[in-house]
Amino acid sequence: MVSLTLNPIDIRSVVDGVTAPESGGIDVFVGTTRNHAGGEPMAIAMMERLEAEARRRWTVNRIAIVHRLGKVPVGEASVVIAVSSAHRNEAFEVCRFLIDSLKKEVPIWKREHFTDGTVEWSGVAAEAKHE
């Protein structure tokens, strides 16, 4: 299950969504940061591909990836990933694979709003300077 939302992420419901009787544990990653804009259809397609890739490489029960878009107040969850599996090792590994890949692949961008009113795409200015 993957989804994008403009509303606060209900972590409990994401965890409930991966609960399965055959699971020995659930690993949850909660990312907290601010201000995202994304290319929605492509972000969903790529999140689904990451889920499929994780299922090819590991044996887990359920996977949920929920990313919030729009202005995210400091301290609230911007992304929640939950993975249930029979053994905790797989759940930890898949959770880590998903958050690391999401940060590299999925077309979502942080937008920093500064107190002086300026707005800047996070991380991208530094990347351009390397060229």
Q: Which long-range contacts (CB under 8 A, 24 or more apart) does 49-52 make?
A: 50/97, 50/98, 50/101, 50/102, 50/105, 50/106, 51/1, 51/2, 51/98
Beta carbon of residue 64, minimum distance to another protein (angstroms, whole number): 15
Q: Nearer Cβ to another protein, position 87 or 103? A: 103
Beta carbon of residue 60, minimum distance to another protein (angstroms, whole number): 20
Q: Nearer Cβ to another protein, position 116 or 131? A: 131
Residues lying near another protein in the complex (CB under 8 A) are found at: 31, 33, 36-39, 41-43, 45-46, 49, 67, 78-79, 99, 102-110, 121-125, 127-131
Q: Nearer Cβ to another protein, position 22 or 74? A: 74
Q: Is the separation of the CB atoms in 109 and 102 below 8 Å?
A: no
